[in-house]
Chain A
Amino acid sequence: MEFAADIKNLMMPEIILFVGALLLCFIGILTDKAYKRVFSIVVLMLGLSFLMCLQLDTDTVSMAFGGSFLISKFTVFFKELILAGTISTIFLSDKYIKQNQKSVAEFYMLLFVAALGGMILVSSRDFITMFVALETLSISSYILSGFIKEKNSQEATLKYLVTGCVASAVILYGVSLLYGMSGSLRFDVIFAAIKSASMFNIAALSGTLVISGLCFKLATIPFYNWAPDVYEKSPLAVSAFLSTVSKVAGFGIIIRLVSELFNGIWILYLVLGLIALVSMAIGNLLGLCEENVKRLMAYSSIAHAGYILAVLALGSTLSLSSAVFYIITYLLMNFAAWSCLEVLDNGDGVTTESLKGLAYKRPVLAFCMVSAFASLAGLPIFVGFFSKFYLFQAIVFAGFLLYPFLCFVLLNSLIALYYYFKVIRAMFDEQESEQTVFWSKRLAVVLVFSTVMVLLTGIFSSPVITYSQQIAQSQMPAVIQYEAIKGTYFDNPRPISVR
């Protein structure tokens, strides 16, 4: 009964979510009026799953299901991020749920399934599991993004779905070539085959296909065009989910693929850098003339994904730790910004026009909003500054050949300042416009929590940096359990215990 032991030791967080999703499905069938009680059940289950993640033994790398499921410090960390993001999304969705009480169980169930898909995605170790988990995440996101039936959100959903299908077909084409040259779908076997055989070209091609297909999850080039429409048309909580949790899962699997599978294929680092530069530029330039703040957040998230990919393209431990730190802070900043927008959203979306005079009418909310947007822009004393600083540091340490690269990234963050400031300036405008705000306890919880975290990590950022360095170091040696390619990556290989 190997499976039973695996499940008991390693898979409890996923099992709890699985059971929770089934339970919510039954609740959705049986009753329409469970709105109040469902919330506490959902939060309880996610919290329990989070605790189970915390108590997993991550000092040794262990595997389940014959090696197709990997538990390491890195994967468990990403699972915790995903769960934390899902809990915040559920708090954030309070307004939407109050307006649509009938569909609450379905909404939560799809969120559960999406979170489950993301969690299995980041810890998958063969391509079958990866693909099914990716599609679990995607398909539930497709449905969630079309959840408002009244508005015309369906075209955006259809665009999202078609783009996603094309992206997954591209991923699968790359995977099929990898399968063809190694005869297996397991990451470790493919890695060994790439090392042993002279398959550099085809590995580079298939790696490019797989990574660019996964960029659909990050909403970067080449599959970015769904993001603004979907963020605008879907419920705001779902937009927050797509811009945080789904991206975190995508980054988790991309980091793992680049470090475990395509390690040593330098073309892939070039491709990552190229994707990063182009999506940064596109996100920032398209964001310049955007008035709708929800669409602005979409462009901003494209650009932020570009920054993270840019630093991942360097492929050193320092750059990985700065990417991890950036991901953590990105999660915090984004939830702060989205919860402010959710408070302000009156159903027609938030524009810079409708924000005018907010600072005089509602100073507290305006303060939260300023801190979130200034942090996204990367101004000092807010956490966004430290994450950007750390990112630039990683690029500087990568060598002077990359200084043009650094200049481009700097230029982009300067361009980005403009549209974040447009939002901030509108709030201090003299002429006031009518705002209706929506407060509830649950929304206030996530707003206050994320704003406080943005401020606190801005002031005391060193523990978080230390933690992200630990995460990055744990990924780098566990990377690969075979021989070293470059000395720096493999100073300290760990034993793998296959359970």
Chain B
Amino acid sequence: MFDVTLIHYLFLSAVLFCVGLLGVIVSRHLLRVLISVEFMLNAVNINFVAFSNYNDLIRLDGHIMAIFVMAIGVCELAIGLAILILVFRKTHSVDADGEYIEEEKWS
């Protein structure tokens, strides 16, 4: 087959990043939007770890950055879910387009 090099990881992460971006733009479900953001952060992590493996196994800066990105990404996700649940309590909808006004009466 072929030799797996840095460039393959970079392509993979670029594709994953773009899928995440696409998900943020096109989804209507807020939960799916938050998941797509996590895809973007994971793509960035792949980049960092791949660069660290191929260029910088001495200082391991990429690994450390990946840890920080993970911690902060999960923190953002948790806050996002908390706010999502608050929105759901108010409007009984998790629609990113905000079409819930007629349902407010219904609840």
A interface residues, Cβ below 8 angstroms from B: 127-128, 131-132, 135, 139, 142-143, 146, 149, 152, 154-155, 157-158, 161-162, 164-166, 168-169, 172-173, 175-177, 179-180, 183-185
For B30-72 the 0/1 string (1 means CB < 8 A from A) is 1001100100110110011001000110010110110011001
Whether the Cβ atoms of B98 and A161 lie closer than 8 Å is no
B residues in contact with A142, CB < 8 Å? 79, 83
- Whether B43 lies near A146 (C-beta < 8 A) is no
Asked whether, in the complex, the Cβ of A165 is within 8 Å of the Cβ of B37, the reply is yes
CB distance from A110 to the nearest CB of B (A): 12
Q: Mark B68-98, 1 if CB is under 8 A from A, else 0.
A: 1100110110011001101100110000001
Given the interface pairs A128-B68, A185-B65, the reply to whether A154 lies near B37 with Cβ below 8 Å is no
List the A side residues contacting B41 at CB < 8 Å: 165, 169, 172
Minimal beta-carbon separation of A228 from chain B (angstroms): 14
Give B residues with C-beta under 8 Å from A: 6, 10, 17, 20-21, 24, 30, 33-34, 37, 40-41, 43-44, 47-48, 51, 55-56, 59, 61-62, 64-65, 68-69, 72-73, 75-76, 79-80, 83-84, 86-87, 90-91, 98
Residues of A with C-beta under 8 A to B68: 128, 131-132
Contact B76 A128 (CB under 8 A): no
Residues of A within 8 A of B37 (CB): 162, 165-166, 169
- In the bound complex, what is the Cα–Cα distance between A184 and B48 (angstroms)? 11
Check B47–A158 contact: CB distance below 8 A: no
18 other contacts beyond A132-B72, A172-B44, with CB at 8 A cut-off? Answer: A128-B68, A131-B72, A149-B86, A152-B91, A154-B86, A158-B84, A162-B24, A162-B80, A165-B76, A166-B40, A172-B41, A176-B47, A176-B51, A179-B56, A179-B62, A180-B10, A183-B61, A185-B65
Question: What is the CA–CA distance of A88 and B43 in the complex, to the nearest angstrom?
Answer: 40
Residue among A143, A162, A166, A169 having the largest count of chain B Cβ atoms under 10 Å: A169
In angstroms, Cα B11 to Cα A234, docked, is 41
Q: Chain A residues with Cβ under 8 A from B47's Cβ?
A: 173, 176-177, 180
Q: A127 contacts B65, CB within 8 Å?
A: yes
A166 engages B24 (CB within 8 Å)? yes
Q: List A contacts of B17 (CB < 8 A).
A: 169, 173
A/B interface sample: 11 pairs, CB < 8 A? A131-B72, A132-B68, A132-B72, A152-B91, A165-B37, A169-B17, A172-B41, A173-B17, A180-B6, A180-B47, A183-B51
Question: Please, which residues of chain A bring their CB within 8 A of the CB of B91?
Answer: 152, 155
- A173 with B55: CB separation less than 8 A: no
In-complex Cβ contact of B87 among A158, A169, A179 (8 A): A158
With A and B bound together, what is the CA distance between A149 and B37 in angstroms? 25
B90: chain A residues within 8 A (beta carbon): 152, 154
A135 to B65, CA, bound (A): 13
**Given known contacts A158-B83, A162-B34, A162-B37, A135 and B72 CB-to-CB distance under 8 angstroms:** yes
User: Residue of A at shortest CB range from B54?
Assistant: A180
Q: Indicate if the CB atoms of A139 and B86 lie closer than 8 Å.
A: no
Chain A hits for B61, CB < 8 A: 128, 179, 183-185
Contacts A173-B17, A183-B55, A184-B61 given; does A165 touch B80 at CB 8 Å:
yes
Q: What separation, in Å, do the CA atoms of A173 and B86 have in the docked complex?
A: 31
Minimum CB distance partner of B47 in chain A: A176
Which residue of chain B has the shortest Cβ distance to A164 in the bound complex?
Answer: B76
Query: In chain B, what residue has the closest Cβ to A159?
Result: B96
Establish whether residues B83 and A184, one from each chain, have CB atoms under 8 Å apart when the complex forms. Answer: no
Q: How far is the CA of A340 from the CA of B36 in the complex (A)?
A: 41
Of A132, A166, A184, which is within 8 A of B56 by CB? A184
Residues of A within 8 A of B40 (CB): 165-166, 169, 173
Q: Which residues of B contact A131 (CB under 8 A)?
A: 65, 68-69, 72
Q: Which residues of A contact B98 (CB under 8 A)?
A: 155
Assess whether A128 is in contact with B64, with CB atoms less than 8 Å apart.
yes
CB distance from B74 to the nearest CB of A (A): 11
Instruction: Assess the A176–B76 pair: CB atoms within 8 A.
Output: no
Docked complex Cα distance between A185 and B90 (Å):
43
Contact yes or no, B65 A154, CB < 8 A: no
Residues B84 and A176 in contact, CB atoms below 8 Å apart: no
Answer whether A179 and B48 are a contact pair too, CB < 8 Å, given A139-B75, A158-B84, A161-B80. yes
A127: chain B residues at CB < 8 Å are 65
User: Which of A154, A158, A173 is close to B43, meaning CB atoms less than 8 Å apart?
Assistant: A173
Nearest chain B CB to A298 CB, angstrom units = 18
Contact of A139 with B56 at beta-carbon distance under 8 Å, contacts A166-B40, A173-B43 already known: no
